[in-house]
């Protein structure tokens, strides 16, 4: 552990922002947003809690950050690393390892994180710390399609009472309404003897609930709302294949979800 840096859990939000922007200044995806947008997206929407997050300082300068959130789901407690970044000029000084050590020390239950494919240095770090890749996270832009299905609004309580408890898949953290507590719209889709549910937030399909053999039919119905962004995971291959058959455009950026058991 280096002695030239100090670390603070529950730092001022402006320090979280400064460390985040510095650490991600040369990232694969360019981040260009102000402090309020950072707070709205990374803290509020993605449920990274400042009280659990940690900033590394070089003197008074914020030079590293680990964002963290915690949630209790059906499978138990989950603690998520929602972002790890170190300023370019202090990399390879042990800051990232120390931030992750402190993150894990405060974590409860299963630890999880997402990392962009191609960020080999980050993947290697997480693997050294005992994280294992569980699935890929893939992003699609749907093409506009028509459907003959009947689509009606469904009370959101159905999501919590019926769909989440019986789902055969595990939603990713950023799309799980139980975690993010963001407003969402649940739509029931019916055509003949086929029934499914679509979960939207504006023009983002947060999740889809239905039989795997009906994946193409349900995604076609989903794409009747255009434009539409869709996130799918590799542990639901039927849905990924259906998206590709329908001509949805897959983003170049994809992620690994990595998990470490308690």
Per the structure block, which two tokens stand in for 35? 């402090």
pLDDT digits (tens, 9 = 90+) for 41-85: 999 999 999 999 999 999 999 999 999 999 998 888 999 999 999
pLDDT band at 3 (very low <50, low <70, confident <90, very high): low
In the prediction, which pLDDT does 1 show? 43
Question: Checking DSSP bridges between strand 76-86 and strand 110-116, what pairing results, if any?
Answer: parallel
pLDDT digits (tens, 9 = 90+) for 108-135: 999 999 999 999 999 999 999 999 999 9
Rounded Cα–Cα distance for residues 189 and 126 (Å): 40
Q: Is residue 113 part of a domain?
A: no
Average pLDDT, the chain: 95
Q: What is the largest CA-CA distance in the chain?
A: 67
Question: Checking DSSP bridges between strand 255-260 and strand 150-154, what pairing results, if any?
Answer: unpaired
Asked if 12 and 93 sit in the same domain, the reply is yes
pLDDT band at 15 (very low <50, low <70, confident <90, very high): very high
What's the CATH number where 82 sits? 3.40.630.30
In the prediction, which pLDDT does 2 show? 45
pLDDT digits (tens, 9 = 90+) for 30-40: 888 999 999 99
Asked if 99 and 172 sit in the same domain, the reply is no
DSSP SS3 for 42: helix
What's the CATH number where 211 sits? 3.40.630
Q: Is residue 262 part of a domain?
A: no
Q: Is residue 170 part of a domain?
A: yes
Is the confidence at residue 226, as pLDDT, over 70?
A: yes
Per the structure block, which two tokens stand in for 84? 């790890």
**Mean pLDDT confidence for 227-254:** 97
Asked if 65 and 144 sit in the same domain, the reply is no
Whether 259 contacts 134, CB under 8 Å: yes
Asked if 143 and 252 sit in the same domain, the reply is yes
pLDDT digits (tens, 9 = 90+) for 74-113: 888 999 999 999 999 999 999 999 999 999 999 999 999 9
Asked if 154 and 252 sit in the same domain, the reply is yes
Q: How far apart are the first and last CA of the chain?
A: 23
Asked if 46 and 152 sit in the same domain, the reply is no
Per the structure block, which two tokens stand in for 60? 């008074």
DSSP SS3 for 112: strand
Q: Is residue 172 part of a domain?
A: yes
Residue whose pair of structure tokens reads 């499978």 in the numeric block: 75
Asked if 89 and 21 sit in the same domain, the reply is yes
User: Percent of the chain beyond pLDDT 70?
Assistant: 99
Q: Is residue 261 part of a domain?
A: no
Residue 254 DSSP class? -
pLDDT digits (tens, 9 = 90+) for 146-163: 999 999 999 999 999 999
Asked if 38 and 104 sit in the same domain, the reply is yes
The domain of 179 spans: 139-256
Q: How many structural domains comprise the chain?
A: 2
Q: Is residue 128 part of a domain?
A: no
Query: Cβ neighbours of residue 126 under 8 Å, at least 6 residues apart?
Result: 113, 115, 258
Q: Is residue 123 part of a domain?
A: no
Rounded Cα–Cα distance for residues 77 and 111 (Å): 9
Q: Is residue 118 part of a domain?
A: no
End of a domain among 69, 85, 108? Answer: 108
Asked if 153 and 56 sit in the same domain, the reply is no
Cis, bond preceding 155 (omega within 30 deg of 0): no
Asked if 104 and 201 sit in the same domain, the reply is no
Global model pTM greater than 0.85:
yes
């Amino acid at each position: 552990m280096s002695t030239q840096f100090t670390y603070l859990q529950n730092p001022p939000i402006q320090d979280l922002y400064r460390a985040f922007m510095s650490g991600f200044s040369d990232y694969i995806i360019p981040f260009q947003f102000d402090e309020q947008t950072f707070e709205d997206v990374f803290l509020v929407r993605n449920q990274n809690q400042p009280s659990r997050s940690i900033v590394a300082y070089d003197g008074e300068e914020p030079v590293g950050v680990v964002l963290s959130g915690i949630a209790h789901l059906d499978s138990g407690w989950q603690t998520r690393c929602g972002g790890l970044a170190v300023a370019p000029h202090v990399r390879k000084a042990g800051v990232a390892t120390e931030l992750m050590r402190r993150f894990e020390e405060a974590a409860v239950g299963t630890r999880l994180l997402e990392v962009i494919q191609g960020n080999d240095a980050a993947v290697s770090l997480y693997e050294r710390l005992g994280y294992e890749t569980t699935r890929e996270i893939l992003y699609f832009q749907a093409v506009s399609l028509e459907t003959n299905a009947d689509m009606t609004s469904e009370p959101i309580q159905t999501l919590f009472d019926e769909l989440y408890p019986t789902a055969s898949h595990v939603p990713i953290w950023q799309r799980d309404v139980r975690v993010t507590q963001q407003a969402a719209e649940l739509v029931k889709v019916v055509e003949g003897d086929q029934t499914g549910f679509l979960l939207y937030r504006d023009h983002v399909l947060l999740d889809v609930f239905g039989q795997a053999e009906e994946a193409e039919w349900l995604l076609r119905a989903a794409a009747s709302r255009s434009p539409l962004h869709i996130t799918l995971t590799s542990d639901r291959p039927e849905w990924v294949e259906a998206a590709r058959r329908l001509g949805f455009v897959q983003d170049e950026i994809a992620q690994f979800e990595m998990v470490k058991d308690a």
